[in-house]
Structure 1
Amino acid sequence: MKFFTRTLLASAWVLCSAVASAQEFAPYGTAKVDMHEYPTINAVFDLNYENPGDLNILYNFVNNTRTPLKGKMVVVTHGPELRVFAKENYEKYQGIVDRMAELARNGVEFRMCSNAMRAAGFQPSDMHGFITVVPAGFPEIAYLQAQGYRYINPIPLPVKDVRYLDQPQLKK
């Protein structure tokens, strides 16, 4: 009986300590949830990525934006990533190009800055058919904003597994 009582008391102490400890680390309470609906909003994505692989992150950004906003989505590309859209690079970037073409089939427009394209050594005929070449990238963004599009600068930083970034790493 003494063993049972001691075990019960020890368990209660551990439980109370855990609850108290959890409350110490949550001095501001718990987050509220407001899963409201959005009105239809058109958006323009300002795309200027150094690493072509970051377009995979853009794919998720656009999908996660277009679904709740239900509006028109336009991607304006004017950086080093534009080489991905060149037909000559299709084999190298096939997976990425196919994902961007999927977005285009789902109504996302891709517009490319002719200045950046020419500076990179390309012509409009070098690009895949879902690309529309426009006079200039920044003016195109301003033009769309004047039409009511909301500006989005999708910085290519993934959030997957960030919860574990501050965890101490085990030494090998």
Structure 2
Amino acid sequence: MTAKNIISALFLFLLSLLVSPVYADAKSTAPWGHAKTLDIKYPPHKVIYDLTTGNLEELDFTLSRISYLNNLYDADPFESSIIVVIHEKALEHFAIENLSDNKQLMERARNLTIGSTIEFRMCKVSAKFKGYEPEDIHGFVQMVPMADA
């Protein structure tokens, strides 16, 4: 083996020692690599959101997702439909008596229904179990006989 080959082999060996801890660390913290972003154009669909949360932050997040999805669909009135079915703990947010607690969120929810294919529907059975009648609920909400049907 010539001196040049020995120096080259030594250089490659030292280089591998420098790189291997970085590679090993990357493998241990992300053994499957990292997520890739796909550029997908979503065609309009008919979507149902099952809104059950009693948490105002979760409701806020859900309203943001509904709005974003509507924008992805270009608010297409012919091909898209977004129905939000309200029941369980979410009922109380839409009760008129609680408007002072969440007025901004209710204004956002109502605004989503104006000139769009977004509808809020409330399970009449669930509302009745909670002691609510149609006159107790905001006017942008439609009462349906039963959300499970």
**Fold in common (TM above 0.5):** yes
Write out per-residue CA displacement over residues 45-80 of structure 1, whole angstroms, 9 at most, x where no aligned residue.
111223344211211221233232452101011112
Aligned residue pairs total 128
Residue aligning to 1:166: none
Residue aligning to 1:79: 88
Partner SS, residue 137 of structure 1: coil
CA distance in 2, matches of 1:103, 1:89: 19
Unaligned ranges ≥5, structure 1: 1-11, 140-172
CA distance in 2, matches of 1:16, 1:83: 58
Unaligned ranges ≥5, structure 2: 1-14, 75-79
Higher relative contact order (CA 8 A, sep 6+): 1
Question: Partner amino acid for 2:32?
Answer: Y
**What is the 5 A alignment of 1:112-131?**
112-131=122-141
Partner SS, residue 132 of structure 1: strand
**What is the 5 A alignment of 1:143-154?**
none
**Aligned-residue offset at 1:84:** 1.1
Identical-pair percentage:
29
Write out per-residue CA displacement over residues 91-120 of structure 1, whole angstroms, 9 at most, x where no aligned residue.
111122122112222521000111111111
CA distance in 2, matches of 1:20, 1:72: 48
Match of 1:40 among 27, 36, 44: 44
TM-score (norm 1): 0.63
Residue aligning to 2:102: 93
Do 1:59 and 1:99's aligned partners in 2 also have CA atoms closer than 8 Å? yes
Structure number with bigger Rg: 2
Partner SS, residue 110 of structure 1: strand
Pair 54,84 (structure 1): closer, same or farther in 2 beyond 3 Å = same
**Aligned-residue offset at 1:137:** 0.9
Taking only aligned residues, the RMSD between alpha carbons, in angstroms, comes to 2.6
TM-score (norm 2): 0.71
